[in-house]
Structure formats: structure tokens, C-alpha cells
Structure 1
């Protein structure tokens, strides 16, 4: 468990983190979403004690904080940050990197072969990492954290440079680790994927963490209350406002218009479908507000 207590980080006149207080529990997968430079990596660096906060404290397991070097050593026995590709040693093989991490965290060496198999790394893991592609290096970095097998895992852009197949493989492993009771915190720009497996998703606004459910009520619930229409004409938007004044409209920078229904009654959905078809609109879909939608609404930009 991590308790973040009134954490602030300021660089000159810029307050990157602004009095954040929140608790993350074991068995949770936390998603952090925001444009670059808004605080995701800064928060992780504070949690790892790579960066001293201007104010506040981080408490682990209800007892340990970074109050001394000995405490930091104890915390880093059960807390890890996924290594960056720049941390790899080009003259060592992938397997040697995995052995190094398993040894450093005194984890079960059986995890090495299990992780190699799960990530389909067997055909290159014994080669020097200097010969690896970006995707191979990224898988190795993820594998290194998995074999460390810490109770708390932090990952910054874990899916970078990976093809859809490997994204799904890593997602499956993350869900397995969550089921084991690990606390996993992920900062990511792959929003579709993050939305599938995160228990809670937070966006950043002026140094604060904002729960996605505070931006769109019931965001995390799988209820069909939104119709997504591509490139709707302004005249039709006005017609809908007149005919259905109880329906909230939002148009994203991607030119996608969201029609938020007060309920998911079949009769209302059927009536709206007929209305749209009658007005020659065929490119629409029913569903919930997606994380990509939410990002565009909140930051007025598209990933």
C-alpha cells in the first residue's frame, strides 16, 4: 500500500505536483494519464525517492517512509520501477540482465524461464542486448521488473514500441500480477489498452490527480449511455438540441460528437437510431465514453 500525503513538487515558479493526497491499495492497477510534462513521471520519481518533494511524505505499508537511507533500502526491497532502455548493458545478454534483477531482489530464479516463455523471448534472450530492436529491449525491461517480483511495481510507458500482439501479452501478465495482489502503477499513452485493465484511472490538472469518474460520472461503469457520431453537421446538432433538450452534446477536437443520454432505455436508443438514420447519419456507435474521448474532452487534444 502507498499513502501519498500532501505531496507537492515545485521547480522555480512552476508547481508540477500540488498538495496530492491519495492511497493506492495492494491488488490495484492504477492508470496515470496526461500530456507530457504534467506530472506523471514526477510523481513516480517521488514515489521511488529519485526526487525529493518540496512538501509532503510518502508512506509504504503503513509504516515506512523515506526518512533515512536504511528505510529507503527496506522500501526498495518491495518497490521497483521498470528500468529504462538506457539502463541496459549492451555487452550483456537478456538472460544475464534477468539473472541480475532476480538476484538483486532475491526472487525465485524459476521466474526467469517462466517470464522468457510468457514473453516469447527465447529466440533472442541469450544474445547481447546491443543487437536488440527497440521492441525487444522494451520486452526485456518489462521482464526484468517481472522477475524482480516486488509487491509494488511502477511502469512508465511500458507498452512503448510494442506491436499489438505483445501489448496483449504484457496486459495478460499485468492482470496475473494484479491477481497475485501486486500494486501496479502505470503511466501510459496507450489509452484503449489502459482502459481495459486499470481499476482506477487518474488524469492530471494543475498538479492535482483527478479521478476519471469525477470528469464523466460513472465512467468506469459499462453502461450504454453515449452515442458517438463522426463529423455531425452543425444544423443537425441544433435539431437534436431542439428535439431532445435532455441530451447533452460534446464535440471533441477529433470532430467526434458525443450524445450523452440520461438513461440507456431501449426505447430511447431505438428512437435515436431511427432519427439519425432518417437524417442520413450512418457512421455512429453506441457505447460508453472511452478513455480517448475523456482525454480529448479534458486536454483538448487527440493522442
Structure 2
């Protein structure tokens, strides 16, 4: 459990984090989404005590807070953050790194071989990391976090530079860890993947955490109430507005137009399909607002 209590981080006149108060619970996967420089990494650094907040505190189980070096050591026994590629030692093998993390956190050495097998690292794990590609280094950093096996795991852009197959492998392993009761916090620009697996997703606005469900009502459990149309002509938008004034139109930066329906009854869906086809519009689909859509709506940019 992480209890974030009125955390503010201010640099000069700018509040990167502004009086954030929220609790994250064991067995949850939390997604953090925002453009660079809006507070994702700052929040993680505060949780790890790498950065001292201007005000507020972070609480953990048993009432532990960062009030002393002794408490920091206790907290870091069950809280970890995925290492960065720059933290790797080029003269050591991947297996050496995994052994080091298992020893530092006192975890079961059996996790080393299990993790190597799950992540398909066997063909290179015994080589020096200085010979690794970026993707191999990223997988090793993730494996080090898994081997540490802490109750709380934080990851900043864990999927960076990975191909779709490895993204899926890592995602399945993360879901396994969540099922074991781990609290996992992920900051990521891979929005499709994050939307698929995260229990709660938060965006940043002026130093505040904003739940995705507050931006789009019921976002996490949305029904089919949106039609997504690519490159919709302006005259069709006008005809649509005249014929269906209750349907809200929203055009994003990538020329995707969202048509928000007042309800998802079959009759309306059928009627809208007929309308679009009669206008020679064929590139459309029914669904919910996606996290990519939400990002574009909220930040007026696309990833």
C-alpha cells in the first residue's frame, strides 16, 4: 500500500506536483500517462525518496514513512523501482546482475532461472551486457525488478524499445505478479497496452492526478457509445449535426472524429451505419473512447 499525503513538489514558481493525495493498494496495476515533464517521474522519485517533496509525505504499511535513514532502508526492502539501462555494468553478464538483485533483496534464487526462461533471455544472459542491444538491455532491467520480487514495483517506460512479442510477454508476467498481490505502478507511452492491463489510469494536469474516469464518465467500463471515423469531411459533419443534434462531435489532432452517441441501442447504431455508408464513409468503427483518444482529447497531441 502507498498512501500519498498532500505531496507538493515545487521548483521555483512551478509546482510539478500540487498537493496530491491518493492511495494505491496491493494487487493493483496503476497506469500513469502524461507528456514528458508533467510529473510522472517526479512522483515516482518522491515515492522512492530519491527526491524530497516541498511538503507532504508518503506512507507505507505499518505506518512507515521516510522519517529516518533506518525507515528508508526498511521501506526499500519491499519497494523497488526498475533500474535504468544506464545503471547496468557493461563488464558484467546479465546473470551477474540478476544474482546481485536477488542477493540485495533476499529473494529466492529460483526466480533467476524462471525469469530468464519466461523472458527468453537464455541465449544471451551469460554474455557481458556491453554486447547487448537496447531491447536486450531493457529486458534485463525488467528482469532485475522481477527478481527483486518486492511487494511494490515501479516502472518508468518498461516497454520502451521492445517489439510487440516482448511487450506481450512482459505484460503477461506483470499480470502474474499483480495476481500475486503486488502493487505495480507503470508510467508509459504505450497506451494500448496500458489500457488493456491497468486497473486505474491517471493523467497529470497542473500537478494534479486526474482519474481517466473523471475525464470520460465510466471510461474503464465504457459501453459502445462512440463511433470513430477517420478523415470525416466537413460537409458530412454539418449534415450529421443537422440530422442528429444530440450526437456530440469531437475531432482529434490525428484527424480522427469521435461521434459520442447518447445511447447504444441497436436501432441508433444501425441508423448511424446507414447514414455513414450513404455518405460513402467506410473507414469507421464502433467502440469506446480509447486511451489514445483520451490522451489526444486531454493534451491536444497524439503519441
Q: Same fold (TM over 0.5)?
A: yes
Deviation at 1:75, TM superposition (A): 0.2
Aligned residue in 1 for 2:41: 41
Q: When the two structures are superposed, what TM-score results if normalisation uses the length of structure 1?
A: 0.99
**Which residue number corresponds to residue 9 of structure 2?**
9
Deviations 1:52-110 (A, max 9, x none): 00010100015100001000000000000000000000000000000000000000000
Match of 2:111 in 1: 111
Q: Take 1:199 and 1:284, find their aligned partners in 2: how far apart are those partners?
A: 28
Offset of residue 291 of structure 1: 0.4
State the SS of the aligned residue for 2:220.
coil
How far is the alpha carbon of 1:13 from its aligned partner?
A: 1.2
Question: What does residue 88 of structure 2 align with?
Answer: 88
Q: Deviations over 1:141-176 (max 9, x none)?
A: 000000000000000000001000000000000000
TM-score w.r.t. the length of structure 2 is 0.99
Q: 1: CA distance between counterparts of 2:208 and 2:243?
A: 39
Shift of 1:7: 0.2
The answer to whether the aligner puts 1:125 opposite 2:131 as a matched pair is no
Residue 27 of structure 2 corresponds to which residue in structure 1?
27
Gaps of at least 5 residues in structure 2 are none
* Alpha-carbon offset, residue 40 of structure 1: 0.2
**Separation of aligned partners in 2, 1:222 and 1:110:** 41
Count of matched residue positions in the alignment of Structure 1 and Structure 2? 303
Q: Which aligned pairs between 1:168-187 and structure 2 lie closer than 5 A?
A: 168-187=168-187
1:51 is matched with 51
Q: Which SS does the other structure have where 1:169 is aligned?
A: helix
Gaps of 5+ in 1: none
Aligned partner of residue 272 in structure 1, secondary structure: helix
Residue 226 of structure 2: aligned partner: 226
CA distance in 2, matches of 1:169, 1:42: 28
Indicate the residue corresponding to 1:293 in structure 2.
293
After superposing the two structures, state which structure 1 stretch, 54-63 or 20-29, moved more.
Answer: 54-63
1:222: how far off? 4.3
Give me the whole-angstrom Cα distance separating, in 2, the residues matched to 1:196 and 1:144.
24
Tell me the equivalent position of 1:284: 284
CA pair 62-248 structure 1, distance change in 2 beyond 3 A: farther
